Amino acid sequence: MVVKFNSALIMALVVVGLVVSLGTSQLQHSSFIGIQPALAQRISPSDVWQLVYQQLPDLPKENQYVNKETGKKAENNTLASRLIRYHIYVKERSPIYRFDWKLTLADYLGANEIMYDATYPGNDILRENPIEGDRAAISRLSRHQRDALVQTLVDVFNPNAQNIRQKPRPSTSTTPQPPQTGGAELLK
């Protein structure tokens, strides 16, 4: 009886030890929506909009809306900040993938999912819901401007992606090479 109790206790302790060990290693390596822990400490989604406007100064700010409580112009409540909040918090999409940002822009253009007034960022704190103005601003962007916006957002949230992204390398040969024949002969 003592042997069974001890072996059961030992097994329970081993299982608890493994769970605790795996749990702490998962915490050390976990990330919030794909943002690496060090990056998450450096870049907050609420601050990213400023970096976006630094890289894309021509992006419309759409910050003419008035705060409900203060009655003052909410200058920091911009198109970029609402776009980021909509993407991350409303749609719960990853901020590090181009495709996810393209889906979000498709929402704004009416080509993907329905955007609801009640859940749109700014609806709760601004006198006027900015959803229609933001959708109009996104629709006025050219395809090139939308692509630049997507790439900027991906780069800001995942600066390592710039190093990973493959750039086409020019061929080292300046003369076209004829196709090789006799491929089976080369295998011998």
The dihedrals phi and psi of 39, each to the nearest 5 degrees, come to -70, -40
Q: Work out the pLDDT band at 11, boundaries 50, 70, 90.
A: low
Q: What is the pLDDT of residues 16-61, one digit of tens each?
A: 555 555 554 444 444 444 444 444 445 677 889 999 999 999 999 9
The predicted model scores a pTM of 0.66
Cβ neighbors of 15 (< 8 A, separation 6 or more) are: none
Please tell me the predicted confidence (pLDDT) of residue 12: 60
Q: What is the pLDDT of residues 128-170, one digit of tens each?
A: 999 999 999 999 999 999 999 999 999 999 887 665 554 444 4
Please tell me the predicted confidence (pLDDT) of residue 160: 78
- 122 vs 39 pLDDT, higher one: 122
Residue type for 97, please? Answer: Y
Pairwise CA distance, residues 82 & 180, whole Å: 55
Please tell me the predicted confidence (pLDDT) of residue 45: 79
Q: What is the pLDDT of residues 63-116, one digit of tens each?
A: 999 999 999 999 999 999 999 999 999 999 999 999 999 999 999 999 999 999
Per-domain boundaries in the chain:
34-161
Copy the structure tokens of residue 120.
Answer: 């749109």
Instruction: Give the C-alpha distances (Å, rounded to integers) separating 28 from 31, 92, 157.
Output: 9, 22, 19
